[in-house]
Amino acid sequence: MRILIKNIKKLVQTEDKPKLKVCGKEMSTINSIDNAYLILKDDIIEDFGEMKHLPEIEGNYKCIEAKNKMVFPSFCDSHTHLVYAGSREIEYNDKIKGLSYEEIAKKGGGILNSAKLLNEISENELYEQSLKRINEIISQGTGAVEIKSGYGLSLEGELKMLRVIKRLKETTPLIIKSTFLGAHAVPEKFKGKQSQYVDYVINEILPKANEEKLADYIDVFCDKGFFTIEETDKILNAGTKYGLQAKIHANELDYSGGIQIGVKHNALSVDHLEYVGDEEIKALKDSETMPTILPGAAFFLNMPYSPARKMIDAGLPIAVASDFNPGSSPTGNMKLMMSFASVNYKMTAEEVINAVTINTAYAMGISNITGSIAKGKKANIFITKPIPSIEYMAYAYGSNLIDTIILNGKVIH
Ligand code: NIG
Ligand code: FE
């Protein structure tokens, strides 16, 4: 079955020769076609071009009129924790009163609070709660998402999370990648025995997760007050044995050395990056690792902003993800991340679009199949409401501008 979308005001982020990522100056270019058509066949992008070159289409097809509207590739959100139990708005109040992220964590709040809630509910209930968030991000234009474990912090809890992620992969139209984040925090049971917990993650949880093939990637919260460089090294080495490439939380709270250890392990991405200096930029320059910023978390926690401008100007790529989680970014709205990225990080409209599509696709290891409009890529796209320009997306930061969602070549709504 084919879908023809015609009279598209602008078909955004088209590629004739698909790239896996875009870096530095290249980020300020977005290829697009004015007054365009797009043909989807089954779950694949079959053809696109200017309306004046629209070919004859054989057989039955569905036609969608897109006059005054734009078509974008679906957002790829390469960093989330959207499988969680309950919510943490009460802690948010503590934050407003001035307690820091680390102070809340020390009070047994933060990640440990979510771990307690998660270990109390059934796998089914966790699936139902998470499915609501999946449906919400689909309606906001996301077509691919990475989801981490890390609120179980016990064998049962971590497997519960990873199995829920697997079920979401099987039952929803999103492309989903799963990341094992056993080393997210030290659970109550191991208080004061962090190195024993690291061994437990490596020797007890990881092998079981591997038996059921539940994880695609491995993550560690490598930062001040959480896991050290040495512990991160050890966990990532263990991940390598199971073929799990790293995607790590780094340099959110300090110059933790997390970026360098990520690069040493050829991590697919290093994420957060509030603390980045010349040393860190140099390490990233000599690597294939995608620097990923999480503007929602920095906004919500009132943290210093990552020097994204400096990184792009130094020739680095940047990806922008939501970090959807109950503590530091309770939203997976990627259009809102576009606005945060432009206002707070001084990224241009073109840079931001690259950062939420092709570069986040790279940071999930799927930029060969999604993240742009290219022949043979997945038919994951959205049609906007009538909008005047691509700049309008980030500018109209409180408006829902998404009209039609198509995933795997099917109109979702
Ligand atoms: O990416 N920084 C570490 N982990 C999450 C926060 C998780 C939480 O507070 O629940 C993050 O922001
Ligand atoms: Fe995170």
In this structure, the residues whose C-beta lies within 6 A of any atom of ligand 1 are 81, 110-111, 114, 221, 249, 252, 297, 323, 325-328
User: For ligand 1, what atom is nearest to the CA of residue 114?
Assistant: 10
Per residue in 293-351, pLDDT tens?
Answer: 999 999 998 889 999 999 999 999 999 999 999 999 999 999 999 999 999 999 999 99
C-alpha span between 110 and 88 (Å, rounded): 8
Task: Find the DSSP H helices in 155-222.
Answer: 155-171, 194-200, 206-211
Show the low-confidence residues of the chain (pLDDT under 70).
none
Write out the DSSP string of 330-396. ----HHHHHHHHHHHH---HHHHHHHHTHHHHHHTT-TTTSSSB-TTSB--EEEEEE-S-THHHHHS
* Distance in angstroms (rounded) separating the CA atoms of residues 52 and 55: 9
Domains of the chain: 2-73+373-411 (2.30.40.10), 75-362 (3.20.20.140)
Hey, whose CA ends up nearest to atom 8 of ligand 1? 327
For the stretch 179-196, pLDDT in tens is: 999 999 999 999 999 999
The predicted structure's pLDDT at residue 5 = 98
CA of 113, closest atom in ligand 1: 10
Query: In angstroms, rounded to a whole number, what is the distance separating the alpha carbons of residues 382 and 398?
Result: 18
DSSP states of 90-133: HHHHHHHTT--HHHHHHTT-THHHHHHHHHHS-HHHHHHHHHHH
What pLDDT score was predicted for residue 394? 98
Could you identify the residue written with the tokens 């020390």?
106
**Spatial distance between the Cα atoms of 112 and 85, rounded to a whole number of angstroms:** 12
Ligand nearest to the CA of 104: 1
Which mutation among 81, 112, 153, 322 tests ligand 1's pocket best, with the greatest number of atoms within 8 A of CB? 81
Residue 73 and residue 143 in contact, taking contact as beta carbons nearer than 8 Å? yes
What pLDDT is recorded for position 392?
98
Identify the pLDDT of residue 101.
Answer: 74
Distance (Å) from CA 303 to ligand 2 centroid:
14
- Nearest partner of 288 among 265, 313, 256, judged by Cα: 265
Q: Which ligand is nearest to the CA of 329?
A: 1
CA distance 11 to 353: 13
Shortest-distance atom of ligand 1 to CA 326:
10
CA dihedral 136, 140, 141, 146 (to 10 degrees): -50
- Cβ pair 337, 343 in contact under 8 A: no
- Asked if 223 and 249 touch (Cβ cutoff 8 Å), the reply is yes
Structure tokens at 373: 């409009």
DSSP class of residue 250 equals E
Task: Give the span between the Cα atoms of 392 and 401, in whole angstroms.
Answer: 9
- Chain-centroid distance of CA 202 in Å reads 25
Rounded to the nearest angstrom, the gap between the alpha carbon of residue 7 and the centroid of all alpha carbons in its chain is 31
Residue pair 309/281 in contact (Cβ under 8 Å)? The answer is no
Pocket test for ligand 1, best of 226, 328, 329, 337 (most atoms within 8 A of CB): 328
Which of 102, 100, 107, 38 minimizes the C-alpha distance to 69? 38
Closest CA to 306 of 341, 329, 276: 276
Which one of the ligands is nearest to 78 CA?
2
CA 350 to ligand 1 center in whole angstroms = 28
Q: What ligand 1 atom has the least distance to the C-alpha of 110?
A: 9
Locate the ligand 1 atom nearest the alpha carbon of residue 221 and give its number.
3
Give φ, ψ of 3 to 5 degrees: -120, 130
pLDDT of residue 105: 77
Going across the sheet that includes 175-183, the strands are: 75-77, 142-148, 175-183, 217-222, 245-250, 269-272, 290-293, 319-320
3-class DSSP assignment, residue 211: helix
Query: Structure tokens of 125?
Result: 């209930």
The model's pTM is 0.97
